Chains A and B, each alone.
Chain A
Amino acid sequence: MTDDRELDALLSEPLAEVFDRGFSARVTARIERRAAWLDSAMFWAPLAVAAVAIPFLPVQELSAAVQRISPEIAGSGALAFAAAIMALTLSLDRSLQERA
């Protein structure tokens, strides 16, 4: 059994069929589990980061800053104009949606 042609023929025999027996289903299930894990990680990770970060927020400094700039924002003509345009756009959009 050492003839070149015989060796070629033996080597060229196709690999034995491997029956599925639930293999594909296991692979698909693993992929689905991984996707579900990624989805939940994407949801919970920002919440976890926020929960860790919130106690370290400089709340007093932030509220002082808001108090300082609030009168300036309220007295700004440009900002009032922009807010009016935004309100008009939203109400127009809503009325168009209601007609449709």
Chain B
Amino acid sequence: MDQEGELARRAAAGDGAAFAALVRQHQSKLRGFLRRLTRGDAALADDLAQETFLLAHRKLAQYRGEGSFSSWLLGIGWSCFLMERRRRKEETVDTLSEGSDTSLVQEAGPRIDLERAMARLIPEERAALTLCYALGHSHGEAAAILALPLGTLKSHVGRGREKLKAMLEAQS
């Protein structure tokens, strides 16, 4: 069992320090992923990240160590995001309002363009592209995280890329 799996096993047995170590290790990746999904809404992303960790803590016994802990956590984060979206009956396509996210204005130019264009994709496309590119997961891993068939995941990646390309072309 790798170090991550060992920490998860200890945390499931009630070791609070082991779970705290897992939170510290994974918080940046999870919060970054959720910020992308929430179109840069850092407060909402952090609320969802907290819910994700609480849910993960309750479900630790279900983690079998088959995939990486990170993938398992991102899957829970995605479920929390979907529940929130359902709760808010959020529209799936929206524009990122100007200056709504302070983290975006600190980024370099092309990155702002990308974030703005990303914000106009549907969440499934945002999630698929983020997992497969920025987080370096394979298509298979991303499909497992998002609980989608592999073909559907690939469609989201392809469509998302095409939309981004068109939007970035229009901006330049």
Q: Do A27 and B54 touch across chains, with their CB atoms under 8 A apart?
A: yes
Please indicate the chain B residues that have their CB under 8 angstroms from the CB of A12 in the complex: 133-134, 136
Q: Is the CB of B114 within 8 A of A11?
A: yes
Q: Which residues of A sit under 8 angstroms from B64, Cβ to Cβ?
A: none
Q: How far is the CA of A4 from the CA of B164 in the complex (A)?
A: 11
Within residues 97 to 147 of chain B, which ones have a CB less than 8 A from any CB in chain A? 103, 107, 110-111, 113-114, 129-130, 133-136
User: Does residue A16 face the partner (Cβ distance < 8 Å to B)?
Assistant: yes
Beta-carbon contacts under 8 Å, B17-47 to A: 19-20, 23-24, 27-29, 31-33, 35-36, 46
- Looking at chain B, what size class is its interface with the partner chain? 35 or more
Which of A7, A13, A17, A32 is B161 in contact with, Cβ under 8 Å? A7
A14 at the interface (CB under 8 A from B): yes
Name the 7 nearest CB pairs between A and B, nearest first: A15-B32, A11-B133, A18-B31, A2-B169, A18-B28, A24-B23, A24-B24
**In the bound complex, do residue A23 and residue B114 qualify as a contact, i.e. CB atoms below 8 Å apart?**
no
Give Cα A31–Cα B58 distance, bound, in whole angstroms.
9
Indicate which residue in A2, A13, A31 contacts B134 across the interface (CB closer than 8 Å): A13
A56 and B5 CA atoms in complex are apart in Å by 51
A52 at the A/B interface (Cβ < 8 Å)? Answer: no
A46-92 contacts to B, CB under 8 A, are none
Docked-complex contact A28 and B23, CB < 8 angstroms: yes
Q: Is B57 an interface residue (CB 8 A)?
A: yes
For residue B78, give the distance in angstroms from its CB to the closest CB of chain A.
15
Mostly helix, strand, loop or mixed at chain A's interface?
helix
Say whether B71 faces chain A, with CB atoms less than 8 Å apart.
no
B165 contacts A by Cβ under 8 Å: yes
> In this assembly, does A99 line the interface, its C-beta being within 8 Å of a C-beta of chain B?
no
In the complex, the chain A residue whose C-beta lies closest to that of B45 is: A18
Contact A20 B134 (CB under 8 A): no
For A12, give the chain B residue with the smallest CB separation. B133
With A8-B133, A14-B134, A23-B27 known as contacts, the answer to whether A1 contacts B164 (CB < 8 A) is: no
Name 17 A/B residue pairs within 8 A (Cβ), A-sorted. A7-B165, A7-B168, A10-B114, A11-B129, A11-B133, A11-B134, A12-B133, A13-B134, A14-B135, A15-B33, A15-B135, A16-B107, A24-B20, A24-B24, A27-B50, A28-B23, A31-B16
